[in-house]
C-alpha cells in the first residue's frame, strides 16, 4: 500500500525535528487527525474561491439584543442583511479568554458561554463559510495548560516556551513594548516564559512535538464543527531561537506546511490564511511555493490606500501595486482596509518615508486616532499601528482637516478594494460605517477598543432603516457594489491585473477574466477635485460596447473623455 501522505509528512517533520523519530510522530499526527497513511491528496493548485466570495469579519458579540446569546443575534442579523452579499464569515475568537478581546485563549475547545455554544457556531456554518482563528502562537496565563505548567504536570508542563535572562535577545523583533520574558513562580522555582504580546499571553513551545499533536486535535475538532477557513493568528512568531530575530524562522514555515497538509487531507476544501502584520516582502513569503498559506492578508493595502485618499496622491499605492506579484493558482490575497486591530505601520516599511509616515499619523491623530507602539531591537519605541475607526480615518485630508467628502471618500476606498486582485474582506464596522468609540477606550483603557464597538440590535436596525443615516447610506451602497462585483468574471480573485498610469490624482488598474472574454478598467478619483479621464489613455477596444458597471451609463464616444467627481469611481466593462 502506498503511503505517500505519511512519507511527505515525515519529510516535513524531519525539517523541524531532526533529532526525533519522525516516523512515529507522523503516525501519531495521522491518527489524531483520523487520516490514513495513503489518504489521497486534494487537487493541486485548486482555487477555493470565485468572484462571488466576500468575507465579513466580526466579533461574536458585536450585535446584541437583551438576554439573547450574541451568536444567535449575530446569525439572525447576518441572514437578514447580508445573506446575498457575504459568502464567508470570520468570527473572531469566540472561546473563553482572559484578555485581548479573545486572543488570550483559555480553552480552545469551548465556546465562551456568554456568547453561546457550539450549536450556534455550527448553525452559522450552515449558512456561510465559517472562518475561525487558530490562535497558534500563545495561550492565556489563566489556561489549564499554563496552570499545569506552574504545577509541573502534564498536559502543559513543557507546553510553553522558556527563556533565560542571560540569552542573547538583542535581535528579537517585537510587536509590543513590554518585556519579552516574564518571570513566573512554579512548583520547582522561578522560570522565565516567553511573551511576545503580553504577560497574559504566553508563547507555546512547538519545539515540543506534543504541542503540535494537540493542535492537530484542535484543528480536527474545528473542522468537524464546520470551520473551513483557518486564520493562523500571529503565526510569524511561532518558532523561537535566542540569538535570532525569532520571526519568520524556517521552522515556522515548515510547521505551516504541516498544518496545511493535515487540514486539506482531512477536508479538501479547507483554507489556510496567515495573519502576518509585517513589511510587504516578508508577508509574501507565506505563500511558500503555493504550499503554505492559501491566502495572505494584504497588510500594506490599508495604510497605503488610506494615505492615498487623505493626501490625494496615489504615487505610493500605484508603485506598490505594480510590485505585487500575481498570486499563483491555488493562492490569493485577502484584501481588507479595516480590521479589529489598527492600521499597521510596519507594512509601510520601504513604501513610505519616515516623514510621510509621521504626516499620516498626525492626520489620523487629528481625526481622533491613537497610536500603539512596538520596541525595536535597539530599544527605541516605534509606531506599530494607528487605532481608529475607518469611517473617521477618512473624514478629511492631510493639512486641511475634516470636510464634507467623508462618505464619498469612504466609498471610494471600498470600491478600490472590491476591484483589486484577491478576495475582499469587510470588517463589520466598515459595512456599518461605525465611528470612533472613545467611550469604550475610556472604559477598557485599551486603544484598540476605539474600533471594537458593540451595537444594540434595535438601535442598529433603526439606523439601517433610516435613509438619511450615514450608516444606512454606506451599508446599502456597499451591498449594491458587492452585488455588481459578484457578477463579473474579471473580478475573480486570480484574474489578470495591470496598473494604469493616469497621473497622481487618478488610481487605475485593468482586470481581465481568465477566459479573456471580459475586461474592466477600474478608475478612481482619489482627490477632492474634479478629474478628466481621456479614454484614449486607457485604450478601450473600439469594436466592443463599453459601459460603467457602477452607474450603468454607456460610453458612447471612445475618443472623448469622462468626468469624475471627487472620489468617484468607474468600472468600465465590455460585458454585463
pLDDT for 358-396, tens place per residue?
A: 999 999 999 999 999 999 888 899 999 999 999 999 999
Total H helices, total E strands in the chain? 17, 28
Please confirm, yes or no, whether 313 is among the known catalytic residues.
no
Query: Low-confidence residues of the chain, pLDDT below 50?
Result: 1
Instruction: Quote the percentage of the chain above a pLDDT of 90.
Output: 94
pLDDT at residue number 543: 84
Question: What are the tens digits of pLDDT across the range 255-295?
Answer: 999 999 999 999 999 999 999 999 999 999 999 999 999 99
> What values do phi and psi take at 73, rounded to 5?
-65, -45
CATH no. of 276-286+298-576: 3.20.20
| Adjacency order of strands within the sheet including 496-500 | 496-500, 506-512, 519-525, 569-573, 546-548, 554-555
What's the pTM value of the predicted model, to 2 decimals? 0.97
Question: How far separated are the first and last CA of the chain, in Å rounded?
Answer: 52
Beta bridge partner(s), residue 332: 295
Asked whether the beta carbons of 259 and 219 are under 8 A apart, the reply is yes
Helices (H), 349-454: 354-366, 390-393, 406-419, 428-431, 438-444
Helix runs in 270-353, H state only:
280-284, 301-311, 315-323
pLDDT in the model for residue 1: 41
What is the full DSSP assignment across 81-129? Answer: HHTTT-SEEEE---S-BSSGGGTSBS-TTS--TTT--HHHHHHHHHHSE
- Name the pairing type of β-strands 88-91 and 138-140: unpaired
Could you read off the pLDDT of 543-564 as tens digits, one per residue? 899 999 999 999 988 889 999 9
d(CA 254, CA 286): 10
Q: Reply yes or no: is the peptide bond before residue 497 cis, omega within 30 of 0.
A: no
Q: Which secondary-structure segment (H or E) carries 8?
A: helix 4-16
Distance CA 272, CA 249 (A): 19
Q: Active-site residue among 133, 233, 392, 437?
A: 233
Cross-strand bridge partners of residue 129: 88
Q: Which residue ranges make up the annotated binding site?
A: 100, 138, 231-233, 340-341, 448
Q: Which secondary-structure segment (H or E) carries 131?
A: strand 129-134
User: In angstroms, what CA-CA distances link 423 with 296, 375, 481?
Assistant: 10, 32, 14
Sheet order of strands, 162-163 included: 162-163, 189-194, 181-186
DSSP single-letter state for residue 328: P
Query: How many Å apart are CA 265 and CA 394, to the nearest integer?
Result: 44
Binding residues for substrate, as ranges, are 100, 138, 231-233, 340-341, 448
User: How far apart (Å, rounded) are the C-alpha atoms in residues 554 and 5?
Assistant: 54
CA distance 3 to 200: 42
Amino acid at each position: 500500500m502506498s503511503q505517500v501522505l505519511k512519507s511527505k509528512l515525515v519529510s516535513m517533520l524531519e525539517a523541524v525535528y531532526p533529532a526525533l523519530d519522525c516516523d512515529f510522530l507522523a503516525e501519531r499526527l495521522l491518527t489524531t487527525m483520523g487520516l490514513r497513511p495513503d489518504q489521497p491528496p486534494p487537487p493541486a493548485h485548486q482555487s477555493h474561491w470565485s468572484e462571488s466570495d466576500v468575507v465579513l469579519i466580526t466579533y461574536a458579540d458585536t450585535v446584541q439584543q437583551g438576554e439573547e446569546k450574541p451568536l444567535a443575534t449575530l446569525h439572525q442579523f447576518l441572514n437578514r442583511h447580508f445573506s446575498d452579499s457575504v459568502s464567508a464569515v470570520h468570527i473572531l475568537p469566540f472561546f473563553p479568554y482572559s484578555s485581548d478581546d479573545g486572543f488570550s485563549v483559555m480553552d480552545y475547545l469551548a465556546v465562551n458561554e456568554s456568547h453561546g455554544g457550539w450549536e450556534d457556531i455550527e448553525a452559522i456554518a450552515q449558512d456561510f463559510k465559517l472562518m475561525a482563528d487558530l490562535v497558534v502562537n500563545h495561550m492565556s496565563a489563566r489556561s489549564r495548560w499554563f496552570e499545569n505548567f506552574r504545577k509541573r504536570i502534564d498536559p502543559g508542563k513543557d507546553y510553553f516556551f522558556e527563556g533565560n535572562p542571560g540569552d542573547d535577545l538583542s535581535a528579537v523583533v517585537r510587536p509590543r513594548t513590554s518585556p519579552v520574558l516574564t518571570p513566573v513562580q512554579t512548583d520547582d522555582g522561578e522560570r522565565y516564559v516567553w511573551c511576545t504580546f503580553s504577560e497574559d499571553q504566553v508563547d507555546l513551545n512547538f519545539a515540543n512535538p506534543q504541542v503540535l499533536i494537540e493542535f492537530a486535535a484542535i484543528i480536527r475538532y474545528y473542522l468537524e464543527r464546520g470551520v473551513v477557513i483557518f486564520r493562523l493568528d500571529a503565526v510569524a512568531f511561532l518558532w523561537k531561537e535566542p540569538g535570532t530575530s525569532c520571526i519568520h524562522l524556517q521552522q515556522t514555515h515548515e510547521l505551516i506546511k504541516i498544518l496545511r497538509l493535515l487540514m486539506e487531507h482531512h477536508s479538501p476544501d479547507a483554507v489556510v490564511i496567515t495573519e502576518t502584520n509585517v513589511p510587504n516582502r516578508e508577508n509574501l513569503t507565506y505563500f511558500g511555493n503555493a504550499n503554505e498559506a492559501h491566502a495572505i492578508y494584504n497588510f500594506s493595502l490599508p495604510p497605503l490606500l488610506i494615505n492615498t485618499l487623505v493626501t490625494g496622491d496615489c504615487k505610493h499605492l500605484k508603485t506598490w501595486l505594480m510590485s505585487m506579484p500575481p498570486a499563483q493558482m491555488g493562492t490569493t490575497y485577502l484584501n481588507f482596509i479595516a480590521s479589529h486591530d489598527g492600521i499597521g505601520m510596519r507594512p509601510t516599511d520601504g513604501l513610505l518615508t519616515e516623514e510621510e509616515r509621521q504626516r499620516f499619523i498626525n492626520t489620523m491623530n487629528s481625526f481622533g486616532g491613537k497610536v500603539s507602539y512596538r520596541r525595536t531591537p535597539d530599544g527605541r519605541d516605534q509606531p506599530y499601528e494607528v487605532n481608529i475607526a475607518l469611517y473617521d480615518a477618512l473624514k478629511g485630508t492631510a493639512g486641511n482637516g475634516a470636510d464634507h467628502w467623508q462618505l464619498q471618500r469612504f466609498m471610494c476606498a471600498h470600491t478600490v478594494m472590491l476591484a483589486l486582485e484577491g478576495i475582499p474582506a469587510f470588517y463589520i464596522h466598515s459595512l456599518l460605517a461605525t465611528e470612533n468609540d472613545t467611550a469604550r477606550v475610556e472604559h477598557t483603557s485599551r486603544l484598540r477598543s476605539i474600533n471594537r464597538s458593540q451595537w444594540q440590535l434595535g438601535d442598529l436596525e433603526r439606523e439601517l432603516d433610516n435613509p438619511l443615516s450615514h450608516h444606512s447610506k454606506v451599508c446599502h451602497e456597499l451591498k449594491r457594489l458587492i452585488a455588481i462585483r459578484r457578477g463579473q468574471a474579471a473580478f475573480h480573485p486570480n484574474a489578470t491585473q495591470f496598473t494604469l498610469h493616469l497621473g497622481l490624482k487618478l488610481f487605475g488598474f485593468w482586470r481581465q477574466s481568465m477566459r479573456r472574454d471580459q475586461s474592466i478598467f477600474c478608475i478612481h478619483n482619489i482627490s477632492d477635485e474634479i478629474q478628466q479621464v481621456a479614454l484614449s489613455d486607457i485604450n478601450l477596444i473600439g469594436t466592443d460596447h463599453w459601459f460603467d458597471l457602477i452607474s450603468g451609463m454607456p460610453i458612447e464616444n471612445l475618443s472623448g473623455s469622462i468626468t469624475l467627481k471627487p472620489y468617484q469611481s468607474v468600472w468600465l466593462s465590455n460585458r454585463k
